[in-house]
Amino acid sequence: MDNQNRYEEVPQKENKFVKGLKAFGRYWKFVFLDFFRSFKYNNMKLSAILFALPGILLGFFMFAHVPTIRKVTVFYDTAVEGTEASITSALNADTLEDTTDYTLTLSKYTVNGTNYENIKLVKYSYEELKEKDTNFDQNLYPIDGYSESDSKTKTFENAFVPSLTQKDADNFSFSVKMKNGDDLVEVPTEVNAEIAYYAIFVYVPASTGSYYYFSNTYRTASITDSSVNVAINVLTPGDYKVAVKAVARAAGEYYSSPMSEKVDFTVSTKGTAATNEDYDTNDFKYAALAGEYYVKDATGDLANLTVDFAANGFITYNVQGGKSVTAKVSGSISNLDSIVQKRVYIIPFDFSGMAIFFLTLLGFLNVFVSLDLSKKKNLGSVVKAGLLTLAIVGIGALYIYSIYATEGAVKSGGLKLNGVTTILDKNATISIVVVILAAVFSLAGLVLAFINYDRTYEKVDR
């Protein structure tokens, strides 16, 4: 007879949350086990994984490649010992506004093996430049317009005046008007129709005194609603003058206008707009001497010597039929030292950016070829992998070479990068390591693929 008071034990139910965690753990256990077991059945799987890694690495570390590429440099200029010379200038304080009256004296120079001393250099006047250069463009220079053909019979009656407006701290614009007696008036529509564009000339201060000299700050501006507006904003802070000239359209009867009066304006902070040339602090230092010079009363080979003096302190010696050489000048505007600069090429051209682009592209192609290695396991997929690996190793070597070549130039003292003593910073190190790993993984994957590919594979037509 059963005992009605007997206690029957009932199994306790497991917590649902714990049960779910165990199931989740078993799932990942089998996933990992299946992943490692799969290597037994697919001997090309490890090769495919190694071959796919470069694509992931190269793209993921782009943050390190970009700043490294920016520091790679193609060439630098260095002084050539034994080419030192001194240059003295004689400036007439009464004619400082006319930049064609200056003379320079070059202490020594060698032309075709002959040494010359105390060479007198005279700047070409605008009239001489016109005679010398058949392609002389009067609109590029701060001179009054003149007729160049019989069809150009008319000139603009009133001088054009720039009306200057400051838009913000470093941005200035011009509205050009005509001068009618002492009054400024809008440019009439009939006159405006004869103007192709306005030539704008900026004058910069001399290193001494309050005189201004024309520099290479020539710009053009098109016409809009009977006026012209152009920003002058990539100038070193300081005081300037500006003048304009109306350039007549080629098909009309008019020729370009006289130069306008000079208008004062001040730049308080350096602008940031993009232009063809960025003006650094020293770009205007030698503006008073800028121009093209010839040798006064020259005979023989010396008559073939001309000198181009740039406002930023570089001087080029040109010998007719010979080789031009460029020198860097330093010192005050009246007493200069000149030394020839030699261009040293670090690498043939800047291929670092292209190298990273192609490495990244090849890395992505590696991913697709790795799928072929894993599925087909045939010789064709191994050959593809071999070609990609060869390209990655070769391009990667060029990229690393460009970095170390630039580093070598910095260490030698020839290349100066704004006080930087090395380009092998954290980003460069990461970039180099990633490129090396990409090549190593590709090579390792290729070797394993060559060892394990299916030598009995036959393509079947279906």
pTM flag (> 0.85) = no
- Ranked by mean pLDDT, the top range of 278-292, 329-343, 363-377, 398-412 is 398-412
Mean pLDDT (whole number) for 235-258: 84
Assign 115 a pLDDT band (cuts: 50, 70, 90): confident
Assign 330 a pLDDT band (cuts: 50, 70, 90): confident
Assign 272 a pLDDT band (cuts: 50, 70, 90): very low
Instruction: Work out whether strand 114-123 and strand 291-295 pair parallel, antiparallel, or are unpaired.
Output: antiparallel
Which residue, 87, 142, 290, 263, is CA-closest to 207? 290
Assign 434 a pLDDT band (cuts: 50, 70, 90): very high
Q: Which residue has the higher pLDDT, 227 or 455?
A: 455
pLDDT at 439 over 50: yes
pLDDT at 359 over 80: yes
pLDDT at 216 over 50: no
Mean pLDDT (whole number) for 152-172: 75
Report the range of poorest mean pLDDT among 116-125, 130-139, 203-212, 378-387.
203-212
pLDDT for position 18: 63
- Ranked by mean pLDDT, the top range of 88-92, 165-169, 240-244, 320-324 is 240-244
pLDDT at 95 over 70: no
Q: Which residue has the higher pLDDT, 42 or 348?
A: 348
Query: Under the phi-then-psi rule, with left for phi > 0, alpha for psi from -120 to 50, and beta for the rest, what region is 204?
Result: beta
* Mean pLDDT score of the chain: 77
394/391 Cα distance (integer angstroms): 5
Q: Which residue has the higher pLDDT, 364 or 453?
A: 364
CA distances (Å), 18 to each of 22, 23, 25, 140, in order? 6, 9, 11, 85
Assign 11 a pLDDT band (cuts: 50, 70, 90): low
pLDDT for position 140: 82
pLDDT for position 229: 55
* Residues 6+ positions from 389 with CB-CB distance below 8 Å: 439, 442, 443, 445, 446
pLDDT one-digit tens code per residue, 48-94:
788 888 888 888 888 899 999 988 988 888 877 777 788 887 654 44
Report the range of poorest mean pLDDT among 57-71, 240-254, 276-290, 410-424.
276-290
Q: Which residue has the higher pLDDT, 25 or 379?
A: 379
Structure tokens belonging to residue 367:
């991913």
pLDDT one-digit tens code per residue, 26-45:
655 554 555 555 555 566 77
Q: Which residue has the higher pLDDT, 235 or 357?
A: 357
pLDDT at 355 over 90: yes
pLDDT one-digit tens code per residue, 178-208:
888 788 888 888 888 888 888 888 777 655 4
Mean pLDDT (whole number) for 423-435: 92
% of residues, the chain, pLDDT over 90:
14
Please compute, for residue 301, the number of CA atoms within 13 A of its CA located in the half-sphere on the CB side: 12
pLDDT for position 438: 92
